[in-house]
Amino acid sequence: MYGGGNVFETMKATALADEDPILLAAFEARIDRGEKIEPTDWMPQLYRKQLIRMIEQHAHSEIIGSLPEGTWITRAPGFKRKLALMAKVQDEVGHAQLLYSAAETLGKPREEMITDLINGKSKYSNIFNYPAFTWADSCFISWLVDAGAIVNQIANSKGSYGPYCRALERICAEESFHLKYGHHCVIHLATGTKTQREMMQAAVNRWWAPMMHFFGPSDKISVHSEILMKWKVKMASNDECRQQFLDMYVPKIWELGLTVPDENLKKNTVTGEWEFTEPDWEEFKRVINGDGPCNAERIAVRRTAEERGRWVREALLAPKAKYVAPLA
């Protein structure tokens, strides 16, 4: 079912061969029973490594994801929209904090994660490497990118690693507000003037391909799905999440009189599955490997924030006595 790939298959076999088979069997039995694995419990190194990779990438996506929308706070139409968008962006940064904390329980320090992000070693979601040219782009992100994130995260919040699942539950509660806010913004534009409708349609056209990529490569070529699903880290495959998103949101997009820029998109009434043009996976690979339209800009902003905030972190970590005013 899953693509896997020979290199990963060899790595996985080698990594699991080094584990104590009795401990491994007990660990897998706990997962099969639906128990949560907690930070101090025994776990195979590969489970730890995969979780760090996935949670860290997720944390980076939240923090980088706040950038395209963040640029619209000062330009959002009206005070209420500005206020709501500012709160949303703050939430997204808060999600990153929750996720970095969850990843830290597995042994990777936060500083190392941030360093790996700004040095280009760690990945983050493809979709945040595209520019938000117009207010409608910001509305698309708030509604449909957050909708896609919820589909994935509600599934994974029922997964096996306690700290990640608890973080996801909290995140999904907040994301559902974002979704309502985003839907409200899109309805406003889609039912507005001709210019507003055209602006919204242009945003859907621009963001559709990255949105289809967002759920990850198809199951046939996904590298990590098999082991992540076996260990209940991922509770739905990339294709299952993509299908669920199409099922829930394409009718809502059509309802608003908007079109989806894929002439092959239709629901197969026999299989119940959505059919669509195969996404361009070469573009996806280029973007996630650092060569998308905004990768350099996103990382540069993050690097600047890191450098400008260094003095605050150093002051907070310095021994208290150093900063106590001398007694007169």
Residue whose token pair is 């897998």? 28
Among the listed residues 82, 123, 252, 267, the single contact to ligand COA using CB under 6 A: 123
Does 214 engage in binding with ligand COA (CB under 6 A)? yes
Give the per-residue contact string, 137-156, with ligand COA (x = CB under 6 A; - = no): ------------x--x---x
Among the listed residues 46, 47, 61, 108, the single contact to ligand COA using CB under 6 A: 61
Least distance between ligand COA and beta carbon 237 (Å): 8
Output DSSP code: residue 320: G
Among the listed residues 142, 160, 238, 243, the single contact to ligand COA using CB under 6 A: 238
Window contacting ligand COA (CB under 6 A); options: 15-23, 37-45, 219-227, 257-265:
219-227
Q: Of the candidates 276, 154, 256, 275, which has an alpha carbon nearest to the alpha carbon of residue 203?
A: 256
Tokens representing 6? Answer: 């020979």
Output DSSP code: residue 275: E
Does 136 engage in binding with ligand COA (CB under 6 A)? no
> Which strand (E) or helix (H) includes residue 274?
strand 274-275
Does 222 engage in binding with ligand COA (CB under 6 A)? yes
Among the listed residues 288, 295, 298, 299, the single contact to ligand COA using CB under 6 A: 288
Residue whose token pair is 């997720």? 58
| Residue number, 70 or 217, with CB nearest to ligand COA | 217
Least distance between ligand COA and beta carbon 98 (Å): 12
Alpha helices per DSSP H over the chain:
6-17, 21-32, 45-70, 79-104, 110-118, 135-140, 146-156, 162-190, 194-214, 225-230, 238-255, 281-286, 295-308, 310-317
Does 210 engage in binding with ligand COA (CB under 6 A)? no
How are beta strands 274-275 and 266-267 bridged, if at all? antiparallel
Does 159 engage in binding with ligand COA (CB under 6 A)? no
Residue-by-residue DSSP string for 60-100: HHHHHHHHHHHTTTTTSSSHHHHHHHHHHHHHHHHHHHHHH
Does 164 engage in binding with ligand COA (CB under 6 A)? no
Does 243 engage in binding with ligand COA (CB under 6 A)? no
Does 244 engage in binding with ligand COA (CB under 6 A)? no
Does 64 engage in binding with ligand COA (CB under 6 A)? no
CA distance 303 to 234: 30
- Enumerate residues 6+ apart whose C-beta is below 8 A from 197: 189, 190, 191, 257
Does 225 engage in binding with ligand COA (CB under 6 A)? yes
Among the listed residues 57, 66, 160, 201, the single contact to ligand COA using CB under 6 A: 57
Does 201 engage in binding with ligand COA (CB under 6 A)? no
Tokens representing 44? Answer: 């195979």
- Enumerate residues 6+ apart whose C-beta is below 8 A from 69: 85, 88, 89, 92, 132, 138, 141, 142
Does 53 engage in binding with ligand COA (CB under 6 A)? yes
Least distance between ligand COA and beta carbon 53 (Å): 5
CA distance 288 to 286: 6
| Residue number, 52 or 199, with CB nearest to ligand COA | 52
Does 217 engage in binding with ligand COA (CB under 6 A)? yes
CA distance 87 to 218: 34
Among the listed residues 31, 228, 246, 294, the single contact to ligand COA using CB under 6 A: 228
**Which residues would be at the binding site for ligand COA (CB under 6 A)?**
53-54, 57-58, 61, 123, 125-126, 149, 152, 156, 213-217, 222-225, 228, 234, 238, 288
